Amino acid sequence: MSKKVLIIGAGGVGNVVAKKCAMNPDTFSDILLASRTKTKCDKIAADAAALGLPTEIKTASINADHVAELVALIRDYQPFMVINVALPYQDLPIMDACLATGVHYLDTANYEPKDIAKFEYSWQWAYQDRYEKAGLMALLGSGFDPGVTQVYTAYAAKHHFREMHYLDIIDCNAGDHGKAFATNFNPEINIREITQPGKYWENGQWIEIEAMSQHKPIEYPGIGPKESYVLYHEELESLVKHFPTLKRARFWMTFGQQYITHLQVLQNVGMTSIQPIKFQGQDIIPLEFLKAVLPEPGDLGENYTGETSIGCQIKGIGKDGGELTYYVWNNCQHQDAWREVQAQGVSYTTGVPAMIGAKLMCDGTWLKPGVWNCEQLDPDPYMALLNQHGLPWNERLGIPLPHEYPD
């Protein structure tokens, strides 16, 4: 039986999730899209209606920092689950409201407190017992990375490896949005992520490095070599916990020279700081002000050309006992995303997996009380849905990987 869902957050990702859910009436019978700025929800709903999508999108205004407001909205609408695609700061209030009202929860990014640029799963994993006792499920990080990258890794473990030793997640955006400087998802969250120290897992411990200090060209399928930088990314924390045979796990992301130059200047002049400063008698946070002057991620799509390529490269012992190398990835064209749901590729590659995670919860395939990361559930149904809903994947086995192991 198809279910009612409440989607919170009407940015670049919210636009994709709402439209993708509206295209799947067999799973999602009713959709309420709520965000702080209701006019953004109304625009998405009007676009979806103009596209003739089968399920109508209703809209509401919500400040998801406030549990009482969330509880009132959830009680009134009575959804089966909440899909949280607002910002990581709202994860805990929304998880609390779901517990208070007895509805399931999904998000695409792990919690981080507003006043420290630090993200880790401890805050959300701490809800495990309460969700389990309440018979509720929280699916954490069902975007692309986190999300699909963990499903890819779980798929590799299930079908190809006896033991995985080296994992490199490689994320390339070879697109061009034509702006001098813009971020592909929420600028505040994006800049906090990449200006903090890099970190990777090696031989049972985290190795911390200066931000953007390790880089090299990596070859991406259909794109060619692109300079890629080691970053700390949240799925590394859960992957090394759930796949303890990993000797090393790293995350690489591409950045163009123009992006890096702008970021360095912004850092040098203090615009990326999250410490409040006084401005005309008011406390303002430079990074929040910077976000206000940068383009919205949801507005980059129309003239975006090029493609993204995100995948996992793994080396270890194959099922037959011999050494095995494996690469699984998706390429997504920005223009295809625009044609289908008027979004750029980064919002698309996040929003489609959020819809898929919700679909597997709504139809009961993945529904299981407790707090889960994507690699803890059966990857097969998720992998099948990726092929059906716009993010087809490719795999290569037993060949020299474009990205060599070890270095």
Would you tell me which residues interact with ligand NDP (CB under 6 A)?
8-14, 35-37, 40, 62-65, 85-88, 90, 108-109, 141, 143-147, 185-186, 189, 296-298, 346-347, 350
In the complex, the smallest distance separating the C-beta of residue 291 from ligand NDP, rounded to whole angstroms, is 8
Those residues with Cβ within 8 angstroms of residue 72's Cβ, 6 or more apart along the chain or in another chain: none
- Give whichever of 16 and 362 is closer to ligand NDP, judged by the CB atom: 16
CA–CA distances in Å: residue 92 to residues 75, 211, 302, 366? 18, 28, 33, 22
- Give whichever of 4 and 36 is closer to ligand NDP, judged by the CB atom: 36
- Give whichever of 173 and 325 is closer to ligand NDP, judged by the CB atom: 173
Structure tokens at 63: 């400040």
What's the number of CA atoms in the CB half-sphere (13 Å) around residue 216? Answer: 7
In the complex, the smallest distance separating the C-beta of residue 1 from ligand NDP, rounded to whole angstroms, is 28
In the complex, the smallest distance separating the C-beta of residue 344 from ligand NDP, rounded to whole angstroms, is 9
- Give whichever of 105 and 144 is closer to ligand NDP, judged by the CB atom: 144
- Coil/strand/helix, residue 8: strand
- Give whichever of 44 and 324 is closer to ligand NDP, judged by the CB atom: 44
- What's the sign of the alpha-carbon dihedral 377, 379, 384, 385? positive
Q: Which residue, 14, 11, 16, is CA-closest to 391?
A: 16
What's the number of CA atoms in the CB half-sphere (13 Å) around residue 280? Answer: 0
- Give whichever of 37 and 258 is closer to ligand NDP, judged by the CB atom: 37
In the complex, the smallest distance separating the C-beta of residue 40 from ligand NDP, rounded to whole angstroms, is 5
| DSSP H or E run through 170 | strand 161-173
Can you state the angle between helices 334-341 and 12-22, rounded to 10 degrees? 60
Strand residues in 240-392 grouped as ranges (E): 248-254, 277-279, 282-284, 307-318, 323-333, 370-373
Residue nearest to ligand NDP (CB): 11
- Give whichever of 124 and 186 is closer to ligand NDP, judged by the CB atom: 186
Q: Quick one: CA torsion of 284, 117, 226, 230, rounded to 10 degrees?
A: 150
In the complex, the smallest distance separating the C-beta of residue 251 from ligand NDP, rounded to whole angstroms, is 12
- Give whichever of 302 and 404 is closer to ligand NDP, judged by the CB atom: 302
In the complex, the smallest distance separating the C-beta of residue 112 from ligand NDP, rounded to whole angstroms, is 9
In the complex, the smallest distance separating the C-beta of residue 64 from ligand NDP, rounded to whole angstroms, is 3
The residues pairing with 226 across neighbouring beta strands, listed in sequence order, are 218
In the complex, the smallest distance separating the C-beta of residue 397 from ligand NDP, rounded to whole angstroms, is 25
Q: Under a CB-based contact definition with an 8 Å cutoff, are residues 347 and 16 in contact?
A: yes
- Give whichever of 165 and 237 is closer to ligand NDP, judged by the CB atom: 237
Strand residues in 261-376 grouped as ranges (E): 277-279, 282-284, 307-318, 323-333, 370-373
In the complex, the smallest distance separating the C-beta of residue 139 from ligand NDP, rounded to whole angstroms, is 12
What is the radius of gyration, based on Cα positions, of the chain? 20
- Give whichever of 198 and 297 is closer to ligand NDP, judged by the CB atom: 297
In the complex, the smallest distance separating the C-beta of residue 206 from ligand NDP, rounded to whole angstroms, is 21
- Coil/strand/helix, residue 48: helix
Q: What is the DSSP string of 79-143?
A: -SEEEE-S-GGGHHHHHHHHHHHT-EEEESS----TTS----THHHHTTHHHHHHHT-EEEE--B
